[in-house]
Every structure is written in structure tokens, then in C-alpha cells.
Structure 1
Amino acid sequence: MPGGRVDHPFFARVYARAAPALDRRGLAERRAALLAGLAGDVVEIGAGEGRNFPHYPPEVTRVVAVEPEPRLRRLARERAASAPVRVEVVDALAGRLPVDDASLDAAVACLVLCSVADQEAALNEAYRVLRPGGQLRYLEHVRAPSAGLRGVQRLLDATVWPRLAGGCHTGRDTLSAVERTGFAVPEPVRFLFPSVPRVRTPFSFHVLGTAHRPPAAP
């Protein structure tokens, strides 16, 4: 069932061209760290053009890769054909995942929770489809720690940036949103990307980590 209309032709073209350079600058290593140790059945929320697919370990038995943007979805399906694990690319929204309750071992959110229309709905869906004890793996850019840069982020997010960048918001407090959903959220790895000495921009601040749906009560 189609997930709804998401149409970002400008962003899709720009992202597809920029992504290889970003991976060479260190994002590929972060993608690999994001997915290391995964096993079983996985949903990837907002798979884009499928740049995570080569990094899935062989212990993963199936990936349901959700991507509503048609150009990125087409590229993802091409990339899925050479993935090391079984990947099914589907047209759906993060807020309406085509997956049964408590049926998956892990959900992956990679540079997508900044751009979903309803972050709370997307996280609630991730929680719903995970088995008790299941993992939410996330790699996201987040709110800046300084008041000055947070002000710039708010300005960008209220004006031009979401229109240019496929709905992306630079300053979402994603970790707090994950915790409010009910996930257990250990302290993530925090890093700057791109890593440029003494340079901080509204886009620099990233987190990489694993949250868990709590196990079922005994």
C-alpha cells in the first residue's frame, strides 16, 4: 500500500550526488558502526538511496527499507539488488510502517528523524514494531549545545532549510524525543560532522547510539 505522497525532486537529486563524497569524508564508517552487530529482522526508516545497505552484517535475515520519495526509492531498489542481505524496498511513511506489532528485532533511523513530518509518530511506530528488548539504532544530526547556534538553527528551520533539504530540520532535540517514546536511551556517541578543527555550524552536531524497547515484564 502506498505510504503517501512525498515529493522532493530537488533534494533527491542533490542528495544522490552529494552522498558519495560525504561517505568518503567519514560517513561510511559511521554507517558501518550504526549497523554493526545487528541480527534478525530489521526495518530501516527513510532508507534514502540505500547507502546503508552494503553495511548490513550477514546475521541480518531481512531488511524492510521504507522510502516514500520516488526518486530515492528507485535508486534504493537498484542498490538493494547487490546488498549482502535480503532487502525489500517499500513505499511507506515513517508514521505508518507496513509491519506487524512487535515483529522485528531492530529499527534503523539514519539521518531521517530530522526530516519526518511527525517525529513523535515515527518514533511511536518504531516502538510498536519492535519486539520487547528490540533495538532502535540511530545516527542523526541534532540540536546544537550553544545558545547562539541553537538560535541559528531555529531561524533556518523556520524559513528556508526544510524547503531546500527535503523537510530537514537542523535543531530537533531528537534524543529527548526518543526517550519520551519509552525507549531506554544510554548515552550515545557524540561527534562533529564534517570534522573541521575549530569550525562549528548548525549542521555539525551528530549522535550515534542504540536505544532499546524495554523487555516485557516477567
Structure 2
Amino acid sequence: MPAKGDHDARRRDVSDAVWGVLAEHGFGGLTMRAVAARMGASTGLVSHYFPSKKALLRHALDLAEERTAARPRQVATGPGLAALRAALLDVLPVTPELTAGSRAWVSFWDAALADPALGASQAARYDRWRTRLRTHVEAARDLGELPAATDPDQVVVIAAAFAHGLVVQALFDQAQFPPARQVDLLDRFLGTLGHPASPADSPPSG
């Protein structure tokens, strides 16, 4: 444990414990007692730094964003679809570290749906992610990897929905969605982007 007077370090220790509880037990298992037990400390120490569960969660969210921003990223082999692939692969639970992070983030969604402020933060987070993905989709279109008529915003929404849908399935059924299959499904998905639906595939008008 850090020195007694090191307030920031102690808060970070608490947040690390919060992140660990969320990764293992989800938001429903996040209690002052569970966090204290993970730290080997008293609930009094936890409540001293975070007087409520909401305050504790907000600080943990800040730390989670720091960790997400600082963790190693997939190295794209090039711009366009290769960069989009790397960006989407970065969110899939294909390693123990990414799996733990995904479990924690998914557990945050429950809290975000119930709290307007947390919900707004999550919506802004999604908006920033889609903006980053859009850059890669636009590059793919400009490189000729996607049709010239491609709507980047539409592709980005579909790509984000695909990635997080796969995240949830993999978290609930790791046996059916091991890392190799996740990567294969991602590559299959990306392969469909350059092949727009033919007129025969379009729904009838009128």
C-alpha cells in the first residue's frame, strides 16, 4: 500500500480493485465490501475516498478510459480497411486482458442506462469511437477498397454494431467464440464491405 498521505495513489488502488471486481463479477457484484476485500483493506478506507458507490464508479470510469487509451494497440499494416481491421480487433476479447476489459465495460452499460450522466458519457464515448472508425472508412473509400458511393457513416454504424455484438457473444460463450473464430468472423465481415448488395438483394419498392 502507498504511504498514508499519498491520497491519489490510494484512490488509484481503490479504482484498480473496482476494475477487478467489475471484470470478474460485473456491476451487480460491485460493492464497497467486495472492493475492500480485493484490496485486503477495510470498507472504511474505501468509503473515506469514495463516499458513495456512484462516486467510486465515476472515478473508476476515468481510470478505465486512461487504461484503454494507454494500452498497446494493434499495428495496422496500412491505411483503409487494414486500419479499420486493427481498430475493430482492438475491442474484441481475444486476450485475457481484453476479455477482462470487455467484461468491465459491458458491466458499466447497466449503470449507464440507469444514470443520465453516465449515459451521456457513454454516448459521447461511442461518438468518439465512431469518429475514429470513420477516418479509416473514408480512407478505404478513397483508396478504392470500398465503392465510391459508400456512405461512411452507414458503414461505421454497421461496423461498430458488428464489433460490439461479437464482443457480447464472445463474453457469454467463449467456447463458441474463441479468439481465432472472432478474428475469422471479423475478416469475413470486412470482406463483405467491398461487395454492395445487388439489385436482386434489395427489398422491393412500394
The two structures have a TM-score, normalised by structure 1, of 0.25
- Give the structure with the larger strand fraction: 1
- Give the structure with the larger helix fraction: 2
The two structures have a TM-score, normalised by structure 2, of 0.26
